[in-house]
Structure 1
Amino acid sequence: MYELAILARGGVLLTVWAVAAGWSPGRLAGRLRRDGWQRICRGAWAAPGKDVDWQVRATALQLLRPELVCSHGTAAGLHRIERLGAPGAAHPLDHLHFTAPTPTRSTHGERIRVHATTFLTARDRSTRRGLRTTTPARTVGDLIRAAGSREEAVVAADSALARRAVGGVRREPLVRYEDLTAELAAPRRGARRARSWLLLAEASSGSPAETVARLRIRDADLFPESQPPLRTTDGRLLRPDFLFRAEGLAVEVEGYAFHGTRRAHERDVARFNALQSCPEIRRVLRFTAGEVFHHPDRMTTTIRAALVTLASR
Structure 2
Amino acid sequence: MDALTALHRCGGSATWAELKGLTNRRGLDKALQLGVIVKHRHGSYALPRDDHRRAAGELCGVVSGLSAALHWGLKMKKEPEHPTVTVPRSRRVDASRREGVQLHRDTLPAGHVFQGVTSLARTVADCARWLPFDEAVCVADSALRSRLVTKEDLRAVVVSLPRTGRSRAMAVVEFADGRAANPFESCLRVIAAQVTGLCAEPQVEIGPHRVDLADRRLRLVIEAESYAFHGSKELFRADVRRYTWLATQQWVVARFLWEDVMHAPERVREALHLLVKTRLACSCLAATGGAPFI
Q: TM-score under structure 2 normalisation? A: 0.68
Q: Is the 8 A contact 1:253 1:288 kept in 2?
A: yes
Letter in 1 for 2:238: A
Q: Do structure 1's residue 249 and structure 2's residue 223 form an aligned pair?
A: no
Q: Do structure 1's residue 136 and structure 2's residue 120 form an aligned pair?
A: yes
Structure 1 residues 109-128: aligned runs within 5 Å: 109-118=98-107, 120-127=108-115
- Shift of residue 286 of structure 1? 0.8
Letter in 2 for 1:112: V
Point out the structure with the larger helix share.
2
Question: C-alpha distance in 1, partners of 2:224/2:233?
Answer: 14
1:154 aligns to what? 137
Letter in 1 for 2:182: S
1:182 aligns to what? 156
Question: C-alpha distance in 1, partners of 2:125/2:161?
Answer: 12
Letter in 1 for 2:90: P
2:171 aligns to what? 196
Q: Is the 8 A contact 1:276 1:282 kept in 2?
A: no
Q: Aligned pair in 2 of structure 1 residues 197, 306: CA closer, same or farther (>3 Å)?
A: same
The share of aligned pairs that are identical, in percent, is 24
Question: C-alpha distance in 1, partners of 2:234/2:92?
Answer: 54
Gaps of 5+ in 2: 1-32, 37-46, 284-290
2:241 aligns to what? 273
Q: Is the 8 A contact 1:106 1:114 kept in 2?
A: no
Question: C-alpha distance in 2, partners of 1:264/1:115?
Answer: 46
Question: C-alpha distance in 2, partners of 1:226/1:160?
Answer: 16
Question: C-alpha distance in 2, partners of 1:266/1:259?
Answer: 13
Structure 1 residues 55-134: aligned runs within 5 Å: 55-61=49-55, 64=58, 67-84=60-77, 86=78, 92-105=79-92, 109-118=98-107, 120-127=108-115, 132-134=116-118
Q: Is the 8 A contact 1:106 1:115 kept in 2?
A: no
Question: C-alpha distance in 1, partners of 2:282/2:76?
Answer: 36
2:182 aligns to what? 207
Letter in 2 for 1:273: R
Letter in 2 for 1:180: L
- Shift of residue 137 of structure 1? 0.6
- Describe the superposition over 1:110-146 as per-residue Cα deviations: whole angstroms up to 9, x where unpaired: 322332322x12311224xxxx311111111111111
- Shift of residue 212 of structure 1? 2.7
Q: Which has the higher contact order (CA 8 A, sep 6+)?
A: 2
What is the aligned counterpart of 2:231 among 252, 263, 268?
263
Q: Is the 8 A contact 1:97 1:113 kept in 2?
A: yes
CA RMSD, aligned part only?
3.0
Q: Is the 8 A contact 1:228 1:239 kept in 2?
A: yes
- Shift of residue 308 of structure 1? 4.7
Q: TM-score under structure 1 normalisation? A: 0.64
Gaps of 5+ in 1: 1-48, 87-91, 163-171, 233-237
State the number of aligned residues. Answer: 235
Question: C-alpha distance in 1, partners of 2:231/2:184?
Answer: 22
- Shift of residue 75 of structure 1? 0.7
- Shift of residue 304 of structure 1? 2.2
